[in-house]
Amino acid sequence: MKKVKFQIFAILIGTMALSLSSCLKDTTPEPDPIPPTMSGLTIEGSGKSFVATLIFSEGVYKAANSTGNLDNASFVISVANGIGALESAVVAHTAGSTNALITITLNEYSDGNEELTIEAASNTSIYNTKGTGMLFTEKKSITMSGTIHETIHVAAGANGTGTTTWTANNTYILDGLIFVNDGQTLTIEAGTVIKGAEGQEADASALIVARGGKIMAVGTALKPIVFTSVLDNLNGSVALNQRGLWGGLIILGKATLNSSPGVSNIEGIATTEPRGEYGGTNDADNSGVLKYVSVRHGGTNIGEGNEINGITLGAVGSATVIDYVEVIANADDGIEFFGGMPNVKHALVAYCGDDSFDYDEGFRGQGQFWLAIQDETDGDRVGEHDGGTDPETAQPYATPYIYNATYIGRGAAAGKRTITFRDNAGGFYRNSIFLNQYDGIDIENLSGTDDTYARFVEGNLKLEGNIFYNIAGQTSGTDVAANGAAIFKIAGTGSDATELANSKAAFASYFASANNLVANPGITAANPIPTNNVGGTMAPITGTTPNFIAGFFDTVTYKGAFNPSGANWASWTRFYN
């Protein structure tokens, strides 16, 4: 009996011990879960492009159930200091991985002071395999690499520029006549500055895109591409109207000319240089893109007594894109068209020493929203429009379509003309504004029937829906006068007096019937946006010649280059800054 009692007692003691042990185990607290952390951050790259590697203490996921790749919503990514701001960030991660790659793009080249910071977006944006969320206070920072900023001299040579990119972190100096050869493409980044070296004739500097070459110069309103002189520090070192400090920009294509034999050498370049030729049979030729490009202070004597234009377009084709361009303070013309069919929209030409817009050799392109502003102390015609050179009677005739131009002249005292049509030049100016000049429209009428006036008779020279104001020239010989303004003149050499009188009467009748007005648009050079009504009867966007491209034009309800209710689209230019 005693042995049995002892066994029962032992069993009771053991049961109590197990019960006590169980109670003690249940009351022991579980350890707190450990959240994942960011354990490291490295970065590689330069310029504007970088790849950051973010390292975690363990494998991580987007969701608490151990699924999902981390993405941009998982983080707050920022860049502070320096000149480069964050343009974009793209996160790449695989669920469960211990690192994420983050591709960073800056809007400007790094100067070495930019600091990249990566933070957890919230307490529920990143999880470990146990479903524990990373604390939102987790973050890592790292300094980004600086970019080397150089001044690069581009030397003249037979090899041309090659197919290459000029980048905005560098300044490029043109040492001589620099060619983009046939088959080459020169790409110029937004914000890039190109400077022409000093010198004339053999030492002149210019950028020339040869036939078959391309320039892809795409700037922005905030970061235009600037062509200027080495003397220009872009901060006021060169006066707004200082001219002739370097050459200019020349683009040559394969479109049609009306001069014989159909291929010409651009003025100022030796005829022994084949890269100076322009012309051909491809009116849809593509020489590239100019967008938000400013050409400043050019026009040096490039050779053979010729001052180069700000932008020269020789036989450029219709596939070339030219939009938002400025030529300011050029010693010769602002933009000159030698044949071809280039289309130009949003163009400002100011303070040039000769003509603002000039065309010749059968130019048949399109234009809209052109602004010309003449310096009170210099400049000839706002528009000099010639049909042909050799021979003058050659076809195709010059028949460009120009809508919504605003031409501001030098004032009556300078004795200059607004537009001259001669040498069989046609053309269509519609819904435009012309003001502040001595003479208005000058049309050549020679003996015979093959002249500029004949282009009017045939319907290839029209002025419709335009506004004239303060065209206050001479009264003798004036063909139409309204409010004291000399609106147009028919000038003849060797014409029969009766024929000349009849042509004046015919054009006068047409002029009044084509909805041309004399009215104050409320425009100044400082503010080209009209403050008075410039609406009313609008000439339609239409054409009768083969070169007319309706899709190029914007349909608007105002005359001139600027919407009275809109902003100044030229606010990005040197002239307005």
563 in any annotated domain: no
Question: Is the CA virtual torsion 484, 490, 494, 495 positive or negative?
Answer: negative
Q: What angle do CA 179, 184, 187 make, to 5 degrees?
A: 85
What confidence category does residue 509 fall into, taking pLDDT thresholds of 50, 70 and 90? confident
Q: Which residues fall within 8 angstroms of residue 24, CB to CB, at 6 or more apart?
A: none
Joined together, the tokens standing for residue 448 give 């015979």
113 in any annotated domain: yes
pLDDT of residue 114: 95
Q: What is the mean pLDDT of residues 356-361?
A: 97
Q: Are residues 132 and 170 in the same domain?
A: no
Strands 401-408 and 366-373: parallel
8 Å CB contact between 283 and 310: no
Q: Are residues 114 and 194 in the same domain?
A: no
Q: Are residues 120 and 210 in the same domain?
A: no
Peptide linkage before 396 cis (omega within 30 of 0): yes
Q: What is the mean pLDDT of residues 54-67?
A: 97
Q: How far apart are CA 203 and CA 209, in angstroms?
A: 18
Instruction: Give CA 325 to chain center in angstroms.
Output: 6
Domain final position from 143, 160, 186: 143
Q: Are residues 91 and 223 in the same domain?
A: no
Q: What is the mean pLDDT of residues 338-351?
A: 98
Q: What is the mean pLDDT of residues 366-391?
A: 94
Q: What is the mean pLDDT of residues 451-476?
A: 86
Residue 120 pLDDT > 70? yes
Q: How far apart are the first and last CA of the chain?
A: 116
CATH number at residue 51: 2.60.40.1250
Q: What is the mean pLDDT of residues 361-372?
A: 98
pLDDT of residue 480: 65
Q: Are residues 428 and 530 in the same domain?
A: yes
pLDDT tens digit string along 183-208?
Answer: 999 999 999 999 999 998 888 999 99
Q: Are residues 371 and 456 in the same domain?
A: yes
pLDDT of residue 234: 95
pLDDT of residue 11: 43
8 Å CB contact between 368 and 404: yes
pLDDT tens digit string along 409-428?
Answer: 999 889 899 999 999 999 99
pLDDT of residue 302: 81
pLDDT of residue 474: 47
Percent of the chain clearing pLDDT 90 (strictly above): 77
pLDDT of residue 505: 85
Q: How far apart are CA 459 and CA 93, in angstroms?
A: 67
pLDDT of residue 72: 98
540 in any annotated domain: yes
Nearest to 109 by CA among 82, 136, 134, 90: 82
Type of residue found at 137: T
Residue 436 pLDDT > 60? yes
pLDDT of residue 479: 64
10 in any annotated domain: no
pLDDT of residue 10: 45
Residue 477 pLDDT > 60? no
- In this structure, the number of other CB atoms found within 10 A of the CB of residue 284 comes to 11
Residue that the structure tokens 């829906």 belong to: 465
Q: What is the mean pLDDT of residues 109-134?
A: 96
pLDDT of residue 450: 73
576 in any annotated domain: no
The SS3 call for residue 254 is coil
Radius of gyration of the chain (CA): 35
Residue 376 pLDDT > 90? yes
Domain final position from 119, 143, 167: 143
pLDDT tens digit string along 286-328?
Answer: 999 999 999 999 999 886 667 899 999 999 999 999 999 999 9
Residue 6 pLDDT > 60? no
Instruction: Give CA 450 to chain center in angstroms.
Output: 39
Residue 483 pLDDT > 90? no
Q: What is the mean pLDDT of residues 559-567?
A: 97
Residue that the structure tokens 């990005």 belong to: 572
Nearest to 114 by CA among 141, 76, 74, 150: 141
503 in any annotated domain: yes
Domain final position from 143, 170, 187: 143
Q: Structural domain tally of the chain? A: 2
- Domain holding 95, by residue range, is 38-143
pLDDT of residue 348: 98
pLDDT of residue 18: 44
pLDDT of residue 478: 57
Residue 486 pLDDT > 80? no
pLDDT of residue 12: 45
8 Å CB contact between 330 and 365: no
Q: How far apart are CA 408 and CA 467, in angstroms?
A: 12
Residue 413 gets which letter from DSSP? G
- Give strand ranges (E) for 81-198: 86-92, 99-106, 115-120, 139-143, 151-155, 164-166, 171-175, 177-180, 185-188, 193-196
Joined together, the tokens standing for residue 223 give 């970061």
What's phi and psi for 478, nearest 5 deg? -75, 135
369 in any annotated domain: yes
Q: Are residues 385 and 345 in the same domain?
A: yes
Joined together, the tokens standing for residue 330 give 């050029």
- Give strand ranges (E) for 284-438: 288-296, 301-303, 306-307, 311-314, 321-328, 335-338, 343-350, 357-360, 366-373, 383-386, 401-408, 417-422, 427-430, 433-437
pLDDT of residue 9: 42
Percent of the chain clearing pLDDT 70 (strictly above): 91
Q: Are residues 159 and 123 in the same domain?
A: no
Q: Are residues 180 and 83 in the same domain?
A: no
What confidence category does residue 210 fall into, taking pLDDT thresholds of 50, 70 and 90? very high
Type of residue found at 545: T
The SS3 call for residue 288 is strand
Residue 524 gets which letter from DSSP? -
What confidence category does residue 495 fall into, taking pLDDT thresholds of 50, 70 and 90? low
pLDDT of residue 16: 47
pLDDT of residue 28: 59
32 in any annotated domain: no
Q: Are residues 271 and 227 in the same domain?
A: yes
Q: Which residues fall within 8 angstroms of residue 3, CB to CB, at 6 or more apart?
A: none
Q: Are residues 323 and 371 in the same domain?
A: yes
Q: Are residues 406 and 533 in the same domain?
A: yes
What confidence category does residue 1 fall into, taking pLDDT thresholds of 50, 70 and 90? very low
